[in-house]
């Protein structure tokens, strides 16, 4: 981070009085909602969250999240320090949406068309949110090609704004997951391999969040 970026960040934080908003971005189905739920279950202030809430709003059908959703504040305590973050779960970003794809998931034509329309609105909403955040967790499915335009666009926008970005290489519990491929596609950013579903390696992610968002 440059000196100027450091000053900008300091000012922003001074103005917001510790209200640091972190957006969870990524392509559809990468595991953004699962990760958001995992973070809230681990650190959420609302005591009513428990492990059974891990699957809230999660689905194997893409574009399940079609509205940006504030998941609430978390207070992460690590290495003697603590930081408070406001977590916002975003709709998946895409450059194409075809309602026919949802028919393969057993939706009726009417449901599929509705889902497609809402998904387009969700993408627009997620893009608009980029202006209102203090940092981003960019979630990628580690079994897939990381080098796609939506990932490049999110990275480019955060770089242009001088805002911190952590890449989460998710689904490392699956065979064929390759966090290394993600690291070599985006060598200039921290990459943390996790399984949001199984809760694997989450401490490493919290350490990175404390380091880059703190």
Ligand X SMILES: Nc1nc2c(ncn2[C@@H]2O[C@H](COP(=O)(O)OP(=O)(O)OP(=O)(O)O)[C@@H](O)[C@H]2O)c(=O)[nH]1
- For residue 22, give the nearest of 89, 87, 92, 93 by alpha carbon: 87
The region, left, alpha or beta by phi > 0 then psi within -120 to 50, assigned to residue 86 is beta
60 binds, among another protein, ligand X, Mg ion, none (CB under 5 to 8 A by kind): ligand X
Choose which of 29, 37, 65, 195 interacts with Mg ion (CB under 5 A).
65
Question: Quick check: 1 binds another protein (CB under 8 A)?
Answer: no
The region, left, alpha or beta by phi > 0 then psi within -120 to 50, assigned to residue 84 is beta
The rounded distance, in Å, linking the Cα atoms of 199 and 35 is 9
The rounded distance, in Å, linking the Cα atoms of 108 and 16 is 45
Name 112's Cβ contacts closer than 8 Å, sequence gap at least 6. Answer: 99, 100, 102, 103
The rounded distance, in Å, linking the Cα atoms of 87 and 66 is 16
Q: Which stretch binds another protein (CB under 8 A): 49-57, 91-99, 134-142, 163-171?
A: 91-99
**Cα separations in angstroms, 65 against 52, 70, 157:** 19, 12, 22
Residue 141 or 195: which CB sits closer to another protein? 141
Query: How many residues sit close enough to Mg ion to count as binding (CB under 5 A)?
Result: 4
Q: Which stretch binds Mg ion (CB under 5 A): 18-26, 65-73, 105-113, 124-132?
A: 65-73
Tokens of 105: 């998931």
Choose which of 76, 123, 166, 197 interacts with ligand X (CB under 6 A).
197
Residue 57 or 214: which CB sits closer to ligand X? 57
Is the separation of the CB atoms in 33 and 57 below 8 Å?
yes
98 binds, among ligand X, another protein, Mg ion, none (CB under 5 to 8 A by kind): another protein
Question: Quick check: 88 binds another protein (CB under 8 A)?
Answer: no
- CB of 31 vs ligand X, minimal distance in Å: 3
Footprint of another protein on this chain (CB under 8 A)? 93-98, 116-117, 120-121, 123-124, 127-128, 130, 145, 147-150, 152-153, 155-157, 159-160, 184-188
Footprint of ligand X on this chain (CB under 6 A)? 26, 28-34, 58-60, 62-65, 92, 170-171, 173-174, 195-197
């Amino acid at each position: 981070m440059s000196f100027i970026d450091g000053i900008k960040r300091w000012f922003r934080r001074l103005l917001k009085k510790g209200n640091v908003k972190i957006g969870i971005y990524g392509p559809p189905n990468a595991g953004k909602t699962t990760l958001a739920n995992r973070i809230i279950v681990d650190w959420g202030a609302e005591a009513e969250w428990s492990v059974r809430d891990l699957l809230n709003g999660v689905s194997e059908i893409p574009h399940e999240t079609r509205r940006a959703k504030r998941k609430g504040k978390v207070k992460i305590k690590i290495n003697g320090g603590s930081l408070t973050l406001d977590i916002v779960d975003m709709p998946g970003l895409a450059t194409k949406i075809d309602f026919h794809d949802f028919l393969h998931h057993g939706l009726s034509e009417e449901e599929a068309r509705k889902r497609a329309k809402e998904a387009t609105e969700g993408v627009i909403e997620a893009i608009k949110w980029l202006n209102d955040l203090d940092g981003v967790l960019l979630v990628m499915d580690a079994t897939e090609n990381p080098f796609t335009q939506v990932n490049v666009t999110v990275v480019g926008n955060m770089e242009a704004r001088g805002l911190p970005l952590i890449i989460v290489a998710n689904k490392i519990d699956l065979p064929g997951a390759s966090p290394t491929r993600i690291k070599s596609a985006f060598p200039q950013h921290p990459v943390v391999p996790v399984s949001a579903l199984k809760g694997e390696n989450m401490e490493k992610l919290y350490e990175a969040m404390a380091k880059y968002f703190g």
